[in-house]
Structure 1
Amino acid sequence: MLSFRAASSEAVAALVDGVEGSATVAQDLFAVAANLRSEGALRRFATDFALPSEAKTGLVSELYDGKVDPATLDLLKDAVGRRWTRTRDLADALEYVGVVAAVRSTGRDADQVVDELFSVRSIVNDSPDLRNALSDRARSADDKAALVDTLLDGKVLPATVILVKQALTGSHRSVAVALEDYEKVAADVHGRDVATVRVARPLGESEVQRLEAALTEQYGRPVHLNIVVDPDVIGGIKVEIGGDVIDGTISSRLDDARRKLAG
């Protein structure tokens, strides 16, 4: 989801190990991340490795004790005591750990969160009016959150609603990019990768199982499939997983043939 340098990556991994599944902790962490991004002096103080840990944990207690869940406060104290490569890494890490906490709060339903985030992302991508409404800087955060509630209330897991609202904060390039990142984190929580599969027609259950098995063998761990029926696909399938694209469509082979003839 987020790119951390070596020292920060180790800190993020340690924080993830210590976070439990909790929607409250997730929302606390998102709020603190937003606070750090908006307050430069606080961000610099909290990530200054030259300062004593006691000074930083003392400030965290002063600012957040009684305002966040005790588990969140403990995690924040741990976070400011660690070494961060860049000042922005702490806020990014807290957002990341918040996503993990939200996903873990669903227990065994992490796969459902992946599916729901993918569905919301598809709706946003396919609806210019909705995409513009969610990215409109003139609209308040509360107004956008109310729109999300109207669209999703009772239709998805509470954790999905929390994550979609977080995607509106602007810390990513767009809402769709944030949702895609969160999908990957949700899958990773249960040791999976995510693959987007574009096909000309819906796949049967046996075809899905064979494709999952093949990708699992190739990538060394289970793969969650997001299947898209795409009219631009002419036969075959196109798989996007991580930075890899496996294009076995007829249209791709035709394009290759045209290039060879033109060359």
Structure 2
Amino acid sequence: MQGPSRAAAAASREAFTGALAAGADRSRLAEELFAAVDVLDGNATLRRAVADPSREGSDKAQLIERLFSGKVSAEALVVLKGVAAQRWSSERDLSDTLEAYAVESVIASAEAADRADRVEDELFRFERIVAADPALRAALTDTQAPVDKRADLVSSLLRDKVAPETLVLARQAVVAPRGRRFDRVVESYLETASHRREQQTATVTSAVPLTDDDRARLAAGLASVYGGTVHVNTVVDPRVMGGVKVEIGDEVIDGTVIRKLDAARRAMGA
């Protein structure tokens, strides 16, 4: 985001956090905000009007009031008006911010049920499963297929197997990618979760599954180095042969056997 949009996002956040603090039904708030993003994405004229930097913020808030009053909860209306009233650098920044608030509402719902870690783990694992299965990936990302069909496929795969918040986010990522690849959508959702929870996320690749104790020790070790809280996502890849590779932020710590063998071969000029 450019400067004006960063300021707009910061200013609009007060409306969003206020809605959560006021006791908004977080699941309903997420649903309504996702629906509002869909409305804006589907109506270029409306989107331009709401994001028009030359219009007064109060005028844009009144436009939102006319359009959504009586159709969404009072809390959702406050958030929508708070976002619309700001001055955005681009239309996409406005709708992206609304989407992020919707995702954050889902994570807040998971936090209230003490399963936010579970949701992050499940969403990450689902993306990896999809990435590893070309046929499944094609079925879920086929924009020519009816939305309901793709949503039903996600439900059939995940219902009763994951937290309800995971199912909501997985379905949303499939039915409303908003021009992005599925993996990028999930990545953005996980980044929003990390931002809300004020933590960093590390992706750890190992030859065999890590135990819960292994993950806890690794998270603690990374937290001591990078500060704050670190959430660990794990990937099993037998090709690494042994050791682990850790990706956190822009850094990669590669301690795998295959990496060491590659280094040895290079040293010998092989």
Per the normalisation by structure 2, the TM-score is 0.89
Say which SS state the counterpart of residue 262 (structure 1) adopts. Answer: coil
Tell me the residue number matched to 1:238.
Answer: 245
Deviations for 1:174-196, whole angstroms, at most 9, x for unmatched residues? 21221122123223322221111
Tell me the residue number matched to 1:220.
Answer: 227
Say which SS state the counterpart of residue 246 (structure 1) adopts. Answer: strand
2:57/2:87 contact within 8 Å kept: no
Which deviates more, 89-98 or 143-152?
A: 143-152
The unaligned stretches of length 5 or more in structure 1 are: none
Say which SS state the counterpart of residue 232 (structure 2) adopts. Answer: strand
1:73 corresponds to which of 69, 73, 77: 77
Say which SS state the counterpart of residue 238 (structure 2) adopts. Answer: coil
Tell me: higher relative CO, structure 1 or 2? Use CA pairs within 8 A at least 6 residues apart: 1
Deviations for 1:93-126, whole angstroms, at most 9, x for unmatched residues? 1001110011101212211110110121122112
Please tell me whether residue 182 in structure 1 is matched to residue 182 in structure 2: no
User: Post-superposition shift, 1:205?
Assistant: 4.5
CA separation in 2, counterparts of 1:213 and 1:172?
Answer: 37
User: Post-superposition shift, 1:228?
Assistant: 1.9
User: Post-superposition shift, 1:54?
Assistant: 2.6
1:19/1:101 contact within 8 Å kept: no
Per the normalisation by structure 1, the TM-score is 0.91
Tell me the residue number matched to 1:102.
Answer: 106
Please tell me whether residue 112 in structure 1 is matched to residue 118 in structure 2: yes
* 1:206 to 1:153, Cα distance in 2 relative to 1, 3 A: closer
Residue type at the aligned position of 2:127: R
Runs of 4+ in structure 1 displaced over 6 angstroms? Answer: none
CA separation in 2, counterparts of 1:260 and 1:13?
Answer: 51
* 1:247 to 1:130, Cα distance in 2 relative to 1, 3 A: same
Percent of aligned positions with the same letter in both sequences?
Answer: 39
Residue type at the aligned position of 1:112: R
1:128 corresponds to which of 134, 141, 157: 134
2:244/2:256 contact within 8 Å kept: yes
RMSD of aligned Cα (Å): 1.9
Tell me the residue number matched to 2:8.
Answer: 11
Residue type at the aligned position of 1:207: D
CA separation in 2, counterparts of 1:6 and 1:196?
Answer: 30
User: Post-superposition shift, 1:19?
Assistant: 4.5
CA separation in 2, counterparts of 1:10 and 1:18?
Answer: 18
Give the number of equivalent residue pairs. Answer: 260
CA separation in 2, counterparts of 1:205 and 1:29?
Answer: 35
1:110/1:187 contact within 8 Å kept: no
Tell me the residue number matched to 1:194.
Answer: 201
Deviations for 1:232-253, whole angstroms, at most 9, x for unmatched residues? 1122110112222111112112
CA separation in 1, counterparts of 2:268 and 2:254?
Answer: 20
User: Post-superposition shift, 1:172?
Assistant: 5.1
Residue type at the aligned position of 1:226: N
The unaligned stretches of length 5 or more in structure 2 are: none
Say which SS state the counterpart of residue 105 (structure 1) adopts. Answer: helix
Tell me the residue number matched to 2:261.
Answer: 254
1:83 corresponds to which of 81, 87, 99: 87
2:19/2:78 contact within 8 Å kept: no
User: Post-superposition shift, 1:262?
Assistant: 3.2
2:219/2:231 contact within 8 Å kept: yes
2:162 corresponds to which of 138, 156, 161: 156
